[in-house]
Structures are given as structure tokens and as C-alpha cells.
Amino acid sequence: RESALYCVGCGVPLQAADPKQPGYVPEKVLAEAEQDAVCQRCFRIRHYNEVAPVVQDPGYYEDLLQRIADTDSLVVQVVDLFDFDGSWIPDLPRWIGENPLLLIANKIDLFPRSVRHGRIREWVRRSAERLGANPVDIVLCSAAKGIYIREVMAAIERYRQGRDVYVVGVTNVGKSTLINRLLHDFGDGGQPITTSPYPGTTLDTIRIPLEDGRTLIDTPGIVRKDRLSEWVSPADLKVIVPKGTINPRVYQLNDRQTLFLGGLARVDFIKGPRQPFVLYVSNALYIHRTKYEKADEIQRAHLGELLTPPEDPSVLPPWRKQRFHIAGGGKQDLVIAGLGWIAVGKEAADIEVWVPEGIQVELRPSVI
């Protein structure tokens, strides 16, 4: 049944007969629709960030990746430059089989302008190699700021060579934001490309038709629980996910001094000469510096109050401590997955890091 109403998003007549055809809205919605109605597809596009599906169960996700391995396609992994290791899909190269991998490294806008993109790209290449991947190419971009989006699209076109494209990524890397960008920038004549749910499966996969009859398939995000960003409330997430260029915060520390990163991590400088600790975390995150001797008491008294986020510490596992020995004489990043990193290593140092149990903390070669 066609109506006299047109979708304000794509201009086609609204209809309630066939969900697979343009202009579809459910009968009930159509009955109540007015002049400013949008069809279900345009609704999806507009509200993409809210409806983008997420998978919690790793086994289920592996099944999905396994299915990609059985296709002949280009796999595009979106990673978060702010949380490279934490945003990597574990064992990705193994899962995608023979298919080529294109790496899109998002959130380039977070880096200070002084950092050369060529350097970051090279660092991404080495990091991917360390994780066992050999991507056909690496493209840096900022989905949110619209930087290098054309390059992303060009790379997808170049490497897919007439094949379907699967876009994969863990949650919070900006995959939805990027797909939204591509939909709007490269849709037909400025119109967004329509999307529809993948028919015949329970996976909420979103399929976007490409010009040559092929399809770009956006897969659900997988949750990695070893990142702090996956544990906190939406309000806390606003504080810890950086929104713009990170201003590195430099602390000249003596040994036996402690930094609290909100109430989400604690860094004790146990032993070593006075030296800089440079924090690359969200500008909105409160850092509390104190003497090591006082740290336990402050933690007991102020976690969830002075030391926030989290607004509610009980949602997180209890803290566990890990010890790191920094050799000195060269910069390294101490990375706390989902929160950021601390550049250390001007001098030798023994450092203890407290984070909620299960959160990944590791040393890596310095990115900046």
C-alpha cells in the first residue's frame, strides 16, 4: 500500500507492504505518519549510532568472522589510534583467512598537530605486524572530524577489486561514525545510501549496496572487556573518551609519588631518578598527584568522590597491581586499555600500576 506521503530523507513514497523495498515503514507507523515522516532505512541512517548492533559473546563473534573467511571479500578493520591494542580484534588474521585486510586507523584528530602522520602510519604498520597482521594498506582518518574520508573510500575501492567489503571493529572505535560519514559523503547525489538488515540471519548485519552490485557489510561491534571504556557508565564514558586533540600532561615525578587517573587507575613510581611522566588521556580526566605513602588512604577515602570517574566504583572489579621495570634511555608507552597511555623511560624506573582486575596494561614502543 502506497501513501501520499514521501520520505523526507530520500524522497520516495512511503509504503508498508514490503520491508525490502524503498520507502518502507511498519503499518502502524504509516497510519500515524505526517508530512515530516522518514522511511525505516533513512531512520536507520540518521540514528545509526543508536541502532548499530553489538555482540558480547566472543564465540558468537568468531562464528561471524569464520563466515567472512569463507567469502571472497575485502576485510576492513577499523581501529582506534587512541587505544590501538585494546581495539584490535583478537586473532583477526587467523579468522579472515586468505582475504586481504585494509586497516583504517581512526581518531587521528586526537594527536597533537606536531606529530607527523607518516610517523603514526609507520607505527601502526609495525604494531599490526607485532599482532600478526600484514594489511594491504593503512589509512589514517578522523571519522568524527571528517579528515581523510575520501582516502578511506578510495582505498576501499582500490583494494576490493569488485568484491564485497566487510567492515569489522570492536566497540567504540568509531565504526558507526565512519559508516555514517561514508553513507552521507558518498551516497547517491548527496542522498544517503539506503541500508537494510541482512536477510535470513539473526545477526544484525547492515548491508549497504555498492555501485557495481556488490555490498558493503557492516558487522556488529565486538565488546572487549579488557578495556576500561567497556565498564563505565555512559556519563563516565563521556569523560574518558577524548573528544578533541589531547593535550599531553607532563608530571615531573620523584620516586615514591603516585598519580591517580580519576578513580580508574593508579600509577606508583616506586624507584628511579626524578623524571617526566607524560599522560595522554582525555583532557577531561582528573589527575590526582600525591605521595606514595598517602595513596592507600586517599584511595580508601575518596574513590568515587574526588577520584572519579567512575561515579560508582562498585561496577568495576577490584583493583589489582602489576609491576613494570622500565629500562630507561628511550621512550616507551605504558598503555591502559580504554583509558590512554603514559610516556615514560627517560630514565630507568620501577612502576606499579593498579587497575580493575582484567584490564589490559602493557608496555609498547612509544607512538609520539
Q: Which residues bind ligand GDP (CB under 6 A)?
A: 49, 52, 106-107, 109-110, 142-145, 169, 171-177, 221, 241-243
Q: How far is CA 185 from the centre of its chain?
A: 21
Name the residue whose CB lies closest to ligand GDP.
Answer: 174
Longest dimension (CA), the chain: 77
Least separation in angstroms between CB 170 and ligand GDP: 7
Q: How far is the CB of 171 from ligand GDP (least distance, A)?
A: 4
AA identity, residue 211:
E
Based on CB atoms, which residue is closest to ligand GDP, 15 or 172?
172
CB atoms within 10 A of CB 26: 10
Smallest separation, CB 242 to ligand GDP (Å)? 6
Nearer to ligand GDP, 49 or 134 (CB): 49
CB of 111 to ligand GDP, least distance (A): 10
Which amino acid is present at 63? D
Judge contact between 110 and 244, C-beta under 8 A: yes
Amino acid at 250: V
- Residue 242 vs 272, nearer CB to ligand GDP: 242
By C-beta, is 221 or 340 nearer to ligand GDP? 221
- Residue 328 CA to chain centroid, in angstroms? 31
Nearest distance from residue 69's CB to ligand GDP, in Å?
A: 22
Nearest approach, Cβ of residue 109 and ligand GDP (Å)? 5
Nearer to ligand GDP by C-beta: 246 or 349?
Answer: 246
Q: Cβ closer to ligand GDP: 23 or 221?
A: 221
Of 186 and 277, the one with the shorter C-beta distance to ligand GDP is: 186
Minimum distance from residue 144 beta carbon to ligand GDP (Å): 3
Cα–Cα dist 75/37, whole Å: 35
Q: Please, which residue, 135 or 174, has the CB nearer to ligand GDP?
A: 174
Q: How far is the CB of 325 from ligand GDP (least distance, A)?
A: 33
